[in-house]
């Protein structure tokens, strides 16, 4: 379906010449691409060239493409059809503008306009909660109210306890049809994916069932995902990101203020009994997509964050975030914020379980046993919390391979045809197993 989005340019341009009365439009052919169009008065001769420049809002756009030009009756029309090699992520907002070259004269540019890559065949309703724009196509006011509650809960806890806030507008897309959601994520999403949070794009896509649902579960899931976006905003820098244990530890802590989605304490008891620990150094990068090792890693992240809060208070977590915002290493961040080394923190935390010499499992190899024969444990068969990188890679590669590349703040530009180099954390996919809200306890 083509959706024409007309956006009037305000006439901001080069050092010598302004563009007046320029009309920018973008036609979205969902699943195929976007066609950018320019129409403006141009009484002079045909320009030497017209190009469109596009990327994410508020970023430095490094992708430029030549536009087809037609000059007739003193009106200049330019068109460029962008067909990304990898599907774009639904909800992504693209900023674009046109630049006109006239011989040896100065370049003129239109004001920027934006277009949202949305599946317009669904009857979307939009609402706003602070900087979060909520999109949903089913469920009515009940779904909207739950989304708002989850957003408010996360933002209140993060601001009041950890000094972290949402710094840029972000979009929350709620799908009642999980197969439609997976298809709109690009068609390459795994069967277990129940959503994605992509901080680079300021977009979160979640499955929000209308029938047989637990309102608190959706609120907690939204809070979890918004936490990831806020943490990326809080610690954004050129040199690195938060380790996965801190990302997931804080996200599970924030979600638990609404509902206890998983029995992390029980899982930790089993980890101790079976000596299945993962060291902090082992959970600084990506988590496995599924399996008991992943569930153990989430539980350990939650437990470790709880230990830090009990020992150093929420201020200790806030200092960690501040340290990571400076682009330091894991060791430097922990030493600076907590006054101990990473190894000392590891040992002190495990000491609370009476563990002196743990056997550390590896997270790099697939958990084949768990995948083929799940443990006889109800928790192991439930949908996991957010797993990092899978959907983030889809999102970042969709932009990179589709030739939109930019950087925010101090981040360097990325080659449009190469994967993003720093993949420690860019968001996550929400694995899905049992129905949302099934067999989960609630924290009083």
- SS3 of the chain: CEEEEEEECCCCCCCCCCCCCCEEEEEEECCCEEEEEEEEECCCCCCCEEEEEEECCCCCCCEEEECEEEEECCEEEEEEEECCCCCCCCCCEEEEEEEEECCCCCCEECCCEEEECCCCCCCCEEEEECCEEEEECCCHHHHHHHHHHHHHHHHHHHHHHHCCCCCCCEEEEEECCHHHHHHHCCCCCCCCEEEEEEHHHCEEEEECCCCCCCHHHHHHHHHHHHHHHHHHHHHCCCCCCCCHHHHHHHHHHHHCCCCCCCCHHHHHHHHHHHCCECCHHHHCCCCCCCCHHHHHHHHHHHHHHHHHHHHHHHHHHHHHHHHHHCCCCHHHHHHHHHCCCHHHHHHHHHHCCCCCCCCECCCCCCCHHHHHCCCCCHHHHCCCCCEECHHHHHHHHHHHHCCCCCCCCCCCCCCCCCCCCCCCCCEEEEECCCCCCCCCCCCC
Q: How far apart are alpha carbons 359 and 418 in whole angstroms?
A: 37
> Taking a C-beta distance cutoff of 8 angstroms, is the pair 317, 274 a contact?
no
Residue range 125-431 in CATH 2.20.25: no
Identify the burial level of 412 via C-beta atoms within 10 angstroms of its C-beta, where 0-12 means exposed, 13-18 middle and 19 or more buried: exposed
Q: How far apart are alpha carbons 304 and 266 in whole angstroms?
A: 14
Q: Give per-residue pLDDT as tens, 282-302.
A: 666 656 555 677 778 889 999
Domain ranges across the chain: 2-116, 125-431
Q: What is the mean pLDDT of the chain?
A: 77
> Taking a C-beta distance cutoff of 8 angstroms, is the pair 142, 55 a contact?
no
pLDDT of 212 reads 87
Whole-number percent of the chain with pLDDT over 70? 71
- Give the highest mean pLDDT range of 48-62, 98-112, 285-299, 330-344: 330-344
First to last CA, the chain: 47
Nearest in space to 401 (alpha carbons), one of 30, 72, 33, 73:
33
pLDDT of 114 reads 94
Task: Give yes or no for residue 417 having a pLDDT over 90.
Answer: no
More confident residue, 442 or 230: 230
Angle subtended at Cα 123 by Cα 118 and Cα 129, rounded to the nearest 5 degrees: 70
Q: Any idea which of 15-24, 41-50, 303-312 has the lowest mean pLDDT?
A: 15-24
Q: Which fold is adopted by the domain 2-116?
A: Immunoglobulin-like (2.60.40)
Query: How does residue 187 score in pLDDT terms, banded at 50, 70 and 90?
Result: low
Calculate the dihedral angle through the C-alpha atoms of 278, 190, 180, 441, rounding to the nearest 10 degrees: -30
**Helices 140-162 and 292-325 sit at what angle, rounded to 10 degrees?**
50
Q: How far apart are alpha carbons 152 and 150 in whole angstroms?
A: 6
- Segment 28-38 shows an average pLDDT of 95
Residue 429 in tokens: 């996919």
What long-range pairs does 312-319 form, CB within 8 A, spacing at least 24?
312/337, 312/338, 314/161, 314/162, 317/161, 317/162, 317/250, 318/161, 318/162, 318/163, 318/164
pLDDT of 1 reads 35
Residue whose tokens read 């961040």? 333
Nearest in space to 151 (alpha carbons), one of 206, 191, 92, 81:
206
Q: How far apart are alpha carbons 84 and 75 in whole angstroms?
A: 29
Q: How far apart are alpha carbons 206 and 253 in whole angstroms?
A: 19
Task: Give yes or no for residue 384 having a pLDDT over 70.
Answer: no
HSE-CB for 49 with a 13 A CA cutoff: 8
Residue whose tokens read 């979307």? 124
Residue 284 in tokens: 């600084």
Beta-strand pair 132-136/125-129? antiparallel
Query: How does residue 409 score in pLDDT terms, banded at 50, 70 and 90?
Result: very low
- Segment 116-120 shows an average pLDDT of 93
Beta-strand pair 170-175/193-198? unpaired
């Amino acid at each position: 379906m083509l959706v024409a989005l007309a956006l009037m340019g305000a006439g901001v341009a080069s050092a010598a010449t302004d563009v007046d009365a320029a009309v920018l439009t973008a036609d979205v052919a969902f699943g195929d691409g976007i066609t950018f169009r320019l129409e403006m008065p141009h009484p002079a001769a045909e320009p030497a060239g017209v190009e469109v420049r596009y990327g994410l809002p508020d970023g430095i756009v490094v992708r430029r493409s030549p536009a087809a030009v037609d000059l007739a009756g003193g009106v200049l029309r330019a068109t460029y059809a962008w067909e990304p090699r990898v599907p774009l992520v639904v909800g992504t907002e693209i900023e674009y503008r046109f630049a006109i070259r006239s011989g040896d004269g100065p370049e003129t540019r239109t004001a920027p306009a934006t277009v949202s890559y949305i599946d317009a065949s669904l009857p979307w309703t939009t609402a706003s909660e602070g900087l979060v724009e909520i999109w949903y196509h089913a469920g009515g006011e009940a779904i909207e109210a739950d989304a708002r509650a989850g957003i408010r809960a996360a933002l209140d806890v993060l601001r009041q306890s950890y000094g972290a806030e949402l710094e840029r507008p972000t979009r929350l897309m709620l799908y009642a049809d999980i197969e439609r959601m997976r298809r709109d994520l690009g068609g390459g999403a795994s069967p277990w994916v129940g959503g994605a949070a992509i901080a680079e794009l300021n977009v979160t896509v979640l499955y929000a069932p209308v029938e047989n649902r637990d309102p608190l579960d959706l609120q907690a899931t939204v809070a979890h995902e918004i936490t990831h976006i806020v943490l990326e905003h809080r610690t954004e820098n050129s040199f690195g990101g938060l380790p996965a244990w801190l990302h997931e530890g804080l996200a599970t802590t924030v979600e638990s203020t609404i509902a206890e989605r998983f029995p992390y304490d029980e899982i930790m008891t089993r980890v101790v009994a079976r000596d299945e620990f993962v060291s902090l150094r082992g959970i600084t990068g990506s988590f496995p997509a599924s399996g008991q090792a992943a569930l153990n890693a989430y539980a350990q992240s939650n437990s470790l964050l709880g230990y830090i809060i009990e020992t150093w208070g929420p201020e200790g977590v806030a200092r960690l975030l501040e340290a990571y915002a400076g682009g330091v290493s894991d060791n430097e961040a922990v030493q600076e914020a907590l006054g101990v080394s990473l190894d000392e923190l590891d040992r002190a935390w495990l000491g609370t379980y009476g563990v002196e010499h743990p056997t550390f499992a590896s997270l790099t190899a697939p958990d084949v046993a768990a995948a083929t024969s799940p443990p006889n444990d109800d928790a192991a068969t439930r949908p996991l919390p957010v797993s990092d990188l899978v959907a983030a890679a889809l999102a970042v590669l969709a932009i990179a391979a589709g030739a939109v590349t930019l950087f925010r703040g101090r981040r360097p530009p990325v080659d449009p045809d190469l994967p993003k180099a720093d993949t420690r954390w860019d968001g996550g996919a929400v694995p899905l197993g049992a129905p949302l809200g099934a067999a989960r306890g609630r924290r009083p």
